[in-house]
Amino acid sequence: MNTQIDKTVLEKANSWLEGNYDEDTKSAIRSMIANDPQEITESFYRDLEFGTGGLRGIMGVGSNRMNKYTVGAATQGMSNYLKSNFSDLDLIKVAIAYDSRNNSSYFAKITADVFSSNGIKVYLFDDLRPTPELSFAIRHFGCQGGIVITASHNPKEYNGYKAYWDDGGQLISPHDKNVIDEVKKIADVSEINFNGNDNLIEMIGQDVDNIYLDRIKSLSLSPEVIARQKDFKIVFTPLHGTGVTLVPEILKRIGFNGVVLVSEQATPDGNFPTVVSPNPEESAALELAMKKALEIDADLVMATDPDADRVGIAVRKGDEMVLLNGNQAASLLIYYLIVRWKELGKLKGNEYIVKTIVTSELLSKIAAKNNVESFDVLTGFKYIADIIKKLEGEKVFIGGGEESYGYLVGDFVRDKDAVISCAMIAETAAWAADKGIGLYDLLVDIYSEFGLFKEKLISVVRKGKSGAEEIEKIMKNFRENPPAMLDNSGVVMINDYLTGISRNVKSGEETKINLPSSNVLQFFTADGGKVSVRPSGTEPKIKFYFGVVADLVDGAEFEAVNATLESKIDNYIKDLKLN
């Protein structure tokens, strides 16, 4: 059997067998070597690395798995890096939070122990909390970094480790690469300090919750509207995650009395028993909530993922509930924020929004019409946080978002925040209701004013080592053989974020893209279409983002124009040979 195992994989596995690892770990490795060459390969063919979402992987034994040793090594590397960066401080501080996943509290305690054993002060949440509250706590306590244990919306087999810097945003270059470099320097497990110092670990909880919730409440732009719409019916589901800790509470505090929890999904549970995947992007995850909404005649459904940084919504359309995608929800939210800022006289000329390059251009169009600046950043909310950091004190951040259901309002959190988003989306819905319309009708009105922007995402899954190699080949092929036409419209511009070059296809003129290097390609067509191709940084898949647009002269024509655009995207998919 051993001959089927790659030599480097076997060498790495043997280094664990010879190292200072516990006997249960060694026994599991021996069993895999003897009986399961594929599993030993998947467990050891690489080390987990920081991607757009930090460290994330299947729980189990091995260098490519989430376990005590990979978490410990990541924390030791982070400790070493913090100590070298902040050597002038008498006391370096970090905050740690965790979600409802299996082993999350266990990994959080290991993380706290390793930090504290390195002389670093730890603020550890006393129970599960949303990821955005961790970002808030870093800034609140003046920490130099932070960690949240979560695998976001991944299946139950996964867990993860998101690392944050002193601004409350996730690690970006050069810190992300430097931390992993520090991890790689750890030659032996004995270099990881697992023996915690309880004197340096402080438990935090409800006091921080209250401060955080007060700040969210201060974001409200229409308290008088909520007062009039206080009985507006909302169905909320935390999908067995951390959203249950704070979302119902913030909705209550800002004045909503008609919030109904999906009881079957209200208990935190890392096995996510009622869903195949706890992902608010997937319609199946919202089925119970939408059924409840129809039962009680609610107008809005909101569902947060396990660590409550993303939210999916469904809205009423006549006698049914329809799901909105992340681009549509972001468009509604940004529209509401900018319109209300304008009505309240808060627009002074130095305000801005931020979106990612794969997010709908509708957000930029709404901003431009209202003389609000719009910035595009790479995929990953850490880049939105970086813009906020760079512009702090110069410009005023209104809000931002990404198509993958992550949004932020205000700048006291530096990550996507479903607690804030649920509060502000509910307020947007109440504002529309106060005008006698629902969010669906408001969205159609926005399309009538700015154009019907339609987006679609297709993910091609390729698992494991062979899958990673295939994804690499797909990207190479698109670089060497880009499409010339999409749905009979010529490709006029190609952006390659890996080389940092934007090329005009007709003239051959090249301009520099002022963003960090990233393995992303974009193709723009003569009729306003956009296709983005990007390997996921957190999952074994390559993602294709499609965006098309057409004028919508009359809202009554929405269904017809929408169907035409759907057909257009289908033709893009055929032209790219994805079906």
- Long-range CB pairs of 551-554 (<8 Å, 24+ gap) are 551/451, 551/452, 552/444, 552/447, 552/448, 552/451, 552/452, 553/448, 554/448
Instruction: Tell whether the torsion through CA atoms of 179, 184, 188 and 189 is positive or negative.
Output: positive
Contacting residues for 326 by C-beta, under 8 A, at least 6 apart: 281, 312, 359, 401, 402, 403, 404, 405, 406
Q: CA 417 to CA 422: how far, in whole Å? A: 9
Q: CA 236 to CA 219: how far, in whole Å? A: 20
Q: CA 178 to CA 183: how far, in whole Å? A: 9
Q: Quick one: average pLDDT of 314-338?
A: 98
Active site residues: 152
Question: b or e along 104-132 (b: 16 or more beta carbons within 10 Å of the residue's beta carbon)?
Answer: bbebbbbbbbbbbbbebbbbbbeebbbbb
Q: CA 44 to CA 17: how far, in whole Å? A: 12
Question: Is residue 551's pLDDT more than 60?
Answer: yes
Per-residue model confidence as pLDDT tens digits over 165-174: 999 999 988 9
Contacting residues for 266 by C-beta, under 8 A, at least 6 apart: 237, 238, 244
Q: CA 287 to CA 523: how far, in whole Å? A: 35
Per-residue model confidence as pLDDT tens digits over 206-238: 999 999 999 999 999 999 999 999 999 999 999
For residue 94, the surrounding DSSP H or E stretch is strand 93-98
Task: Work out the percent of the chain whose per-residue pLDDT is above 70.
Answer: 98
Most confident listed range (48-62, 490-504, 531-545): 490-504
Q: Quick one: average pLDDT of 479-493?
A: 97
Crossing angle (nearest 10°) for helices 7-18 and 37-44:
80
Question: Is residue 3's pLDDT more than 90?
Answer: no
Crossing angle (nearest 10°) for helices 362-369 and 439-450:
70
Q: CA 148 to CA 131: how far, in whole Å? A: 6
User: What is the structure's pLDDT at 53?
Assistant: 57
State the Cα angle at 242 between 183 and 338, rounded to 5°.
95
Q: CA gyration radius for the chain?
A: 24
Place of tokens 């206080």: 230
Contacting residues for 305 by C-beta, under 8 A, at least 6 apart: 152, 153, 239, 241, 243, 278, 279, 280, 311, 405, 418
Question: Is residue 179's pLDDT more than 90?
Answer: no
Q: CA 352 to CA 345: how far, in whole Å? A: 15
Per-residue model confidence as pLDDT tens digits over 120-168: 999 999 999 999 999 999 999 999 999 999 998 888 999 999 999 999 9
Per-residue model confidence as pLDDT tens digits over 12-54: 999 999 999 999 999 999 999 999 999 999 999 988 776 545 6
Q: CA 62 to CA 10: how far, in whole Å? A: 11
Domains observed in the chain: 66-206 (3.40.120.10), 230-321 (3.40.120.10), 325-416 (3.40.120.10), 452-575 (3.30.310)
* Cβ proximity of 420 and 216 under 8 Å: yes
First-to-last C-alpha distance (Å) of the chain: 37
Q: CA 98 to CA 125: how far, in whole Å? A: 8
What average pLDDT does the structure give for the chain?
Answer: 95
Alpha-helix residue ranges (DSSP H) falling in 488-532:
none
User: What is the structure's pLDDT at 368?
Assistant: 98
User: What is the structure's pLDDT at 249?
Assistant: 98
User: What is the structure's pLDDT at 508?
Assistant: 96
Which of 233-242, 278-287, 299-308, 530-539 is least confident? 530-539
User: What is the structure's pLDDT at 4?
Assistant: 79
User: What is the structure's pLDDT at 278?
Assistant: 96
pTM of the model: 0.94
Task: Work out the percent of the chain whose per-residue pLDDT is above 90.
Answer: 91
